[in-house]
Amino acid sequence: MKRKRKERPQRPRGIRPESLMMSFGYRPEWSEGAVKPPVFQTSTFAFRTAEEGKEYFSYAYGLKERDPARPMGLIYSRLNNPDLDILEHRLNLWDEAEASAVFASGMAAISTSFLALVGIGEAIVFTRPVYGGTDYLLEHILPDLGIPTREIAAGAEPEVFEEICRELEEAGTPCKLIFVETPANPTTVLTDIAATTDVAHRFGALCAVDNTLLGPLYQQPLAHGADLVLYSATKYLGGHSDVVAGVALGSEELIERVKLYRTILGSMLDPHSAWLLLRSLETAKLRMTCARKNAERIARWLAAHPKVARVYFPGLLEARRQKEIYEAQCSGPGALMSFELANAGEPEAFQFLNAVRLMKLAVSLGGTESLVEHPASMTHADVPADEQAAIGITPGMVRLSVGIEHPDDLIDALDEALEQVGVELDQPEATPV
Ligand SMILES: *Cc1c(COP(=O)(O)O)cnc(C)c1O
């Protein structure tokens, strides 16, 4: 019997992503009635006939035009694999993307996309601070390969992007990609996605947004015009601190170009990690909602604590322009924050970090467990001190990724740890009686 080629799953209208995460893109009859898709732990796939093998290869090498409604036939797991396909179809739903590609890490998604979309002699403009790995790629590796890069402070207005793009054009190295990480880490400064995309498009460039910190639940860059969304799925999408993965989402056309590079560079995700992410996505909304609610409570509590000088959290913005951007492009503040201990330096921050119970002292974020770390000496240690100061990273700053524990337990743990920090408080002068 000739089996019909599977068709691309169509998103049922009016059903929300969280309702589709348990079923979309997979049918039990494909796998002995198994309710959950199996791990397709295989490197290669058998063709039913030589003619079929020839047909699949003709599409894979672009020798023949493929009907976009039909997915590419299965050939070899560096090109595609059912677990990766199902995962990509489900990820598309959250960001309302036409297509996506999953990678071995967030850095694999970012580096593969840059190489696929920007050529030698074309430039990338990016916001700073960005994730440390991305920073190294943009500061060292890409310029060494002949791709010039220019940084702009996170939160910069469109005129600043415009000026840099004009300079690059005049220098004969036109900007091909504006890369924005918003909110910025660890200071949670927001950059206007729609306005920045507008500038990019006027200069014939693309706009890519690293949306790892808020995730698709609280920010959807494609809806604001961005061309590409990138994630470290190691963080909220994976959500359990047990898998390293990345995602790129955008139009069919862009993702096809990115996937060609993924195939040749070999930066795709493996089937087992894809399967773990499928499990994670079933609870993405539950986890992120719980962590966000916890974070909102904790941020307010910290802001009122006498030993805390300042809290950086998208839910507690002060500047008018930042609030405007938040209202326009974010639907929630996420669960990552930083705070500065009052009159504190590194010794006091370390006192706090060494004292705090319940939360692990570790980098990374977005897991079910709460994590604390010291940006100045850990995640952002390679940023020179004067630059750290300029972007607001101080020795007394602590970053907190809030998990899904009971918020009262987290607050008790923070309270106890703060009690053990020996800082001088600015007490108002006692009034003589
Ligand atoms: C962690 C992270 C990355 C890198 O992701 P990996 O999965 O560790 O490669 C990129 N961007 C942001 C914002 C991140 O937090």
Residue 64, pLDDT score: 84
Token pair belonging to 337: 């924050």
The reply to whether 3 falls in a domain is: no
Helix-then-strand count for the chain, H and E: 16, 12
Quick one: 289 and 153 in the same domain? Answer: no
Look at strands 246-250 and 99-103 and give their pairing. Answer: antiparallel
Using 50, 70 and 90 to split pLDDT, how confident is the model at 185? very high
Please report, to the nearest 10 degrees, the dihedral formed by the alpha carbons of residues 141, 142, 148, 150 taken in order.
Answer: -80
Give dist(CA 40, CA 102) in Å, integer: 15
Name residue, tokens 């589709």: 20
State what percent of residues in the chain have pLDDT above 70: 96
> CA 192, CA 178: separation in Å to the nearest integer?
12
User: Greater confidence, 37 or 60?
Assistant: 37
Residue 8 pLDDT: 78
Q: Supply the pLDDT for residue 332.
A: 98
- Separation between Cα atoms, residue 186 and residue 42, nearest integer Å: 40
Same domain, 261 and 321: no
* SS (HEC) of 207-268: EEEECCCCHHHHCCHHHHCCCEEEEECCCCCCCCCCCCCEEEEECHHHHHHHHHHHHHHCCE
Residue that terminates a domain, selected from 281, 312, 347: 281
In a domain, 7, yes or no: no
Degrees, nearest 5: CA angle 197-317-380 = 75
Q: What percent of the chain has pLDDT over 90?
A: 88
Q: How far is the CA of 141 from the centre of ligand 1 (A)?
A: 17
DSSP at 169: H
Q: What is the pTM of this model?
A: 0.95
Rounded CA-CA distance 363/263 in Å is: 30
CA 37 to ligand 1 centroid distance, Å: 27
Q: Which residues of 152-171 are buried (b: 16+ CB within 10 A; e: fewer)?
A: bebbbebeebbebbeebeee
How far, in Å, CA of 298 to CA of 408, rounded?
Answer: 9
Do 239 and 120 share a structural domain?
A: yes
Distance CA 42, CA 50 (A): 20
CB 239 within 8 Å of CB 283:
yes
Same domain as 185, residue 155: yes
Give residue-wise pLDDT tens across range 223-246. 999 999 999 999 999 999 999 999
> How large is the average pLDDT for residues 379-395?
91
The label of the residue with tokens 């609870």 reads 283
Cα distance between residue 118 and residue 429, in whole Å? 60
**92 with 231, same domain?**
yes
Q: Is 409 inside any structural domain? A: yes
**How far lies 361's CA from each of 235, 268, 369, in Å?**
16, 30, 11
| pLDDT top residue among 41 and 9 | 41
| Domain contains 263 | yes
9 pLDDT band, cuts 50/70/90, is confident
Query: Ligand 1 center to residue 106 CA distance, Å?
Result: 5
Whether 232 and 378 map to the same domain: the answer is no
CATH classification of the domain holding 304 = 3.90.1150.10
Ligand 1: nearest atom to the Cα of 245: 7
Average pLDDT over residues 341-369: 96
**264 and 345 inside one domain:** no
State phi, psi for 126 to the nearest 5 degrees. Answer: -140, 155
233 and 347 both lie in a single domain: no
**Nearest to residue 30, comparing CAs of 67, 3, 52?**
3
- Tell me which DSSP letter residue 397 carries: E
pLDDT of residue 431: 55
User: Whose Cα sits closest to atom 6 in ligand 1?
Assistant: 106
Average pLDDT over residues 340-356: 96
The DSSP secondary-structure symbol of 44 reads B
Establish if 37 belongs to a structural domain. no
How many structural domains is the chain composed of? 2
Q: CA 217, CA 186: separation in Å to the nearest integer?
A: 20
User: Residues enclosing ligand 1, CB less than 6 A?
Assistant: 105-107, 131, 133-134, 181, 185, 210, 212-213, 232, 234-235, 244, 246
Phi/psi of residue 152, each to 5°? -135, 145
Q: Give the number of the atom of ligand 1 that is nearest the alpha carbon of residue 130.
A: 13
Q: How far is the CA of 233 from the centre of ligand 1 (A)?
A: 8
Ligand 1 centroid to Cα of residue 138, in Å, is 14
In-domain check, residue 232: yes
| Band of pLDDT at residue 72, cut at 50, 70 and 90 | confident
Per-residue pLDDT, 426: 65
**Amino acid at residue number 368:** T
Per-residue tokens: 209? 């947004």
Pocket test for ligand 1, best of 110, 234, 242, 338 (most atoms within 8 A of CB): 234
Do 182 and 259 lie in a common domain?
yes
DSSP 8-state symbol, 87 = H
What is the model's pLDDT at position 401? 98
Tell me whether residue 383 is in a domain. Answer: yes
Mean pLDDT of 355-383: 96
Q: Which two tokens stand for residue 402?
A: 């809030």
Distance 180 CA to ligand 1 centre (A): 13
Q: pLDDT tier at 67 (50, 70, 90 boundaries)? A: confident
Measured at the CA of 100, the angle between CA 20 and CA 192, to 5 degrees, comes to 95
With respect to residue 180, please indicate whether it lies within any of the assigned structural domains. yes
Give the residue from 228, 254, 281 where a domain finishes: 281
CATH number at residue 104: 3.40.640.10
In this predicted structure, which of 249-253, 407-411, 419-423 has the lowest mean pLDDT? Answer: 419-423
Q: Is 7 helix (H, G, I), strand (E, B) or coil?
A: coil
Instruction: Compute the average pLDDT of residues 154-164.
Output: 97
Q: Please give the backbone phi and psi of residue 119, each rounded to the nearest 5 degrees, phi first.
A: -100, 170
pLDDT (0 to 100) of residue 3: 45
Spatial distance between the Cα atoms of 326 and 320, rounded to a whole number of angstroms? 10
- C-alpha span between 174 and 205 (Å, rounded): 8
Are both 277 and 288 inside the same structural domain? Answer: no
- Could you tell me the distance, in angstroms and rounded to a whole number, from the CA of residue 208 to the centre of ligand 1? 15
Distance (angstroms) between ligand 1 centre and the Cα of 364 equals 8
Containing domain of residue 384, as a range?
Answer: 284-419
pLDDT class for 148, splitting at 50, 70, 90? very high
**In the structure encoding, which two tokens stand for residue 248, read together?**
């790129």
| Whether residue 140 is found in the same domain as residue 265 | yes
Among 254, 281, 308, the domain boundary falls at: 281
Averaged pLDDT of the chain: 94
Contact 430, 350 (CB under 8 A): no
Q: Tell the residue nearest (CA) to atom 8 of ligand 1.
A: 106
Whether residue 277 is found in the same domain as residue 312: no
Residue nearest to atom 12 of ligand 1 (CA): 131
- Banded pLDDT at 11 (limits 50, 70, 90): confident
Q: Whose CA is nearest to atom 2 of ligand 1?
A: 232
pLDDT given for residue 1 in this prediction: 34
Cis peptide leading into residue 384 (ω within 30°): no
